[in-house]
A and B are shown apart, each in its own frame.
Chain A
Amino acid sequence: MESIIFLILFPLFAGVIMLALPNGRGRDSFVNFAGVVTCIGSLYLLYEYFGKGAQFFFVDGTFIDPLITVAEIAIGLFIIGMSLKFRKYLIAVLAACQMALITYTDVVFEPSHYAGYDLFIDEFSLIMTVIIGVIGSLICIYATGYMKTYQEHHKDVKDKRPLFFFLMFLFLSAMFGIVFSNNIMWLFLFWEITTLCSFLLIAYAGDEISWKNGFWALLLNVIGGVAFAGGIFFINAFSSGSDIYLNELLTSSPGIALVAATFIGFAGLTKSAQFPFSSWLVGAMVAPTPVSALLHSSTMVKAGVYVIVRFAPVFEANLIGIAFAFIGAITFLTASAIAISQSNAKKVLAYSTIANLGLVVACAGIGTEEAVWAAILLIIFHAVAKSLLFLSVGSVENQKHSKDIEDMGGLIAAMPKVALMMLIGMAGMFLAPFGMLISKWASIHAFVNAIPPFGMLLIAIIAYGSGITVFFWTKWMGRILEVRTEREPLETEASKPEMRAILTLGALTVLACLIFPLISYTMIEPYTHTIYNSVSPLLSLSNEIIMLFMVVVVILLPVSLFHFAKGRTLRRQYMGARVSEVSGEHLRFLGSMGVMKEAELSNYYFEGIFGEEKLNRAGVLSTILIIVMLFALVSWFVPLEVIM
């Protein structure tokens, strides 16, 4: 248990120290040190609790419970203060509602009196710990190099780097808290801390648009916070009391568990940026790249899907789960489709994150064992591949001063290392035999057994989304590979800390694809087997061997380059039989008016079909409709059971 508490507290204290350290090499080494310690700490936890199943810990709450109440009120007051200062009255009202709900619950029901296990750890928490600890701290290490360049390029942005690193580490600390909390009151506090951190980090640049997007993220997350608080109020008001502990709640009567799962799942939807709340994550890209990487890969959105997947067993085979599944599936389809029409690299990544989380939510909504298995695999693969992609795009942006995919033409020649890592990341996002595809395969397997006819509709949505995903990733890969003229690569593609983080994440992406059967056998399957009381292996050995074989083929294929490099005649591109010339990066041809013209290539974006505004509207409207139905379902069917 000590190591759990260490993991929650160490990043917090390290962050506080960073707040006091001035810019410079000293702070950077301290950030590196804290990152390495967090990383090793999470790996040690893996070693300590590996194969031990679920473990629960009793913590003496006499000091901690009042502390948590105080912290919650402090966060509430801070949010209200900030929103009043910037005249965002709606947020202030919502935050006040949330605070009132929680304080009322604390005072009237005194949940701190119940005895139960406040902390716990199981295989799912362990997986999340490793994701947060390893990827999160790599991103922090990357940030030491990136933020230096960032501040040099953005002279107008006030240098608040101590605060920046404090918030980053506070974020990690809160994430650890979320995955270890068995007491929902604790979980809620950490939940609120992530909301607050993300708000401040998004608004880091301090200009008008940053504040605007920051407050937008805050607003949507506070809506989720109110729902969460409502859920907590409900549990305290209507159940026997010990249900504020997650393990008790999951096995309590379906009425209590379902209503609580709906409220908290709704909060999860806001945090994991599902439609109709997706806009905050897209807006969050105004923040420096490490923040986006952190929000998208190992923290924030992962906290959202974490709670939804936790409640997945409750969703199994009922209409409320189906409603969640449809919100996820519609999000997957809509966000993927919007990604086609975007040329801003970070926006494409943002929409693809939203889409992948949609798939996770869809799996959790189905709630069968196979679906949960697929959801956890998706979380793992998405975390490594997406953080790799964000960090690579950030380094390209620092070199090329552009986030536009159109400006990445022939990147493989100019920045071969970073470009190769981007290709690995993208392959990891959609191609067989890499990670995400295994999960997509598993989710189709899971959906075919869902309640008919909803399962079939979900499959149809996934089938269309799958085609769309192939389109937007491949055209981006093509853009990177499209070398019109040979050129010398840049001498330094990125600063040392950046390169270190990118290469490690690249290696981790490949490693995850190689050892995923191992992860499945030793961690995911034990977890799902405990939850569902089953013993059947989910992934047949023959399919596993096929996938591993394909990974090995992909890894070995580049060897063929040695063969193909020999005995070739190099020719220039066919330019319609016109005279053509190559100078530097330019490929020119003789135009019809006798002038040499530059040959310019660009990708298709299909804004007519996949326009952002149009699709966003459709996605938001349809999911709002589903949410209304969701709450109608809850309010009509469930109270009967509550009263009984």
Chain B
Amino acid sequence: MSFLDVMNVYPLIGVLLFIVLSPLVGGIIFGIDRIITARMQGRVGPPVLQPLYDIFKLFEKEKMVIHESQNFWIFGYLIFMIITGALFFGGSDILLVIFALTLAHVALILGAFSSGSPYAHIGAERELIQLMAVEPMIIIAAVGFYEVTGSFNTLDIISSGSPLILVLPGIFIGFVYILTVKLRKSPFDISTSHHAHQELVRGLNTEFAGSTLGMVELAHLYETAILLGFIFLFFGLAAPIIGLIVVALIYLIEIFVDNATSRVKWGLMFKSCWIVTAVLGVVNLMALYLI
């Protein structure tokens, strides 16, 4: 039985692998990220598994909150991020994946809003701008997949006969552009950043501590796995090795850009995302008819 048959019959395998493995994979990616970043800054950097140790530690800490309801939203964020990934790796409708991802982020934003804190408030508003900035590109990417493969299901998309990037180059570049926003990388890390030098108070995450922050970090690991999986769809099973190499390369480029640039104003981030979406995404979509 080929990979596809197995996935068709047992979609739950993909779901389980995602739930179990992505924190580990995501943790290692983040660990490598931190080491490379440290080397670029002339430091040695932490062990590879440090991001995971951090999350374990966060769950041990005192549970400080402003309102109890805050955790409810963050728990929702984590749950829906997992559901998003389960849908994605279980091979279902990619539009549902996108909408579930939006739902997860809305939960995170509401959690930040509900704290009633000025810093979290600004962070939440900025996260919302980010959400609005990236949504069109993601939907257009999904429709691009459909136009080529004739299906919205991730399983059908990944098993496309030829790599989708060949006919969707504009959408690919556009998606990589907004990936910077989604991964919270500089220069588009306007709602909250991984780097201490970018901000004095951690924007969106200001009022999350202990296990709450742990859940936020865990959800971010899951999200990274989903986003990199999305990039992989452009290559699919037609060119899996190249796909993996490109995914790694793109993440490396993100790290370099992250360290080489400083945060821009929200207006520039927002407008550039929308313009890139229109110029690369929409034009690519229209061009599909000419090919």
Contact = CB atoms under 8 A, between A and B. Distances in A.
Interface string B83-119: 1000100001101100110110010011011111111
Interface of A: 410, 431-433, 437, 440-441, 444-445, 448, 452-453, 456-457, 459-460, 462-464, 466-468, 470-471, 474-475, 477-479, 481-486, 542-543, 546-547, 550, 553, 557-558, 560-561, 564-565, 567-576, 587, 599, 601, 603-604
A598 to B, nearest CB: 11
A444 B143 contact: yes
B67 A459 contact: no
Please name the 7 residue pairs, one residue from A and one from B, whose CB atoms are nearest each other, closest first: A478-B113, A467-B135, A573-B117, A432-B99, A484-B116, A564-B71, A463-B139
Contacts of A452: 289
Given A542-B92, A557-B75, A463 B289 contact: no
A391 B229 CA distance: 44
A424 to B, nearest CB: 13
B60 interface: no
Given A432-B96, A471-B132, A546-B96, A456 B286 contact: yes
Contacts of A464: 136, 274, 277
Contact of B136 (A437, A460, A474, A482): A460
Contacts of A470: 102, 106, 128, 131-132, 135
Contacts of B109: 474, 478
Contact of A474 (B72, B110, B201): B110
B83 A550 contact: yes
A189 B207 CA distance: 60
Given A464-B136, A543-B93, A571-B66, A475 B79 contact: no
Contacts of B67: 483, 486, 570
Contacts of B102: 431-432, 470
A557 B118 contact: no
Most A CB within 10 A of own CB, among B67, B80, B129, B147: B67
A471 to B, nearest CB: 4
Interface residues of B, number: 66
A459 B140 contact: yes
29 contacts: A431-B102, A431-B103, A432-B96, A432-B99, A432-B103, A441-B93, A441-B96, A441-B99, A444-B95, A448-B143, A456-B143, A456-B288, A460-B140, A463-B136, A463-B143, A467-B131, A467-B135, A470-B102, A470-B106, A471-B128, A471-B131, A484-B116, A542-B92, A564-B65, A568-B63, A568-B64, A573-B66, A573-B115, A573-B119
B118 A463 contact: no
Given A453-B289, A484-B116, 9 more contacts: A431-B103, A440-B99, A462-B139, A463-B135, A478-B125, A483-B116, A561-B69, A564-B75, A570-B64
B116 A410 contact: yes
Interface of B: 62-69, 71-72, 75-76, 79-80, 83, 87, 92-93, 95-96, 99-100, 102-103, 106, 109-110, 112-121, 124-125, 128-129, 131-137, 139-140, 143, 146-147, 152, 201, 206-207, 274, 277-278, 281-282, 285-286, 288-289
Nearest to A480: B113
Given A456-B285, A553-B79, A571-B64, A466 B139 contact: yes
B268 to A, nearest CB: 13
Contacts of B143: 444, 448, 456, 459, 463
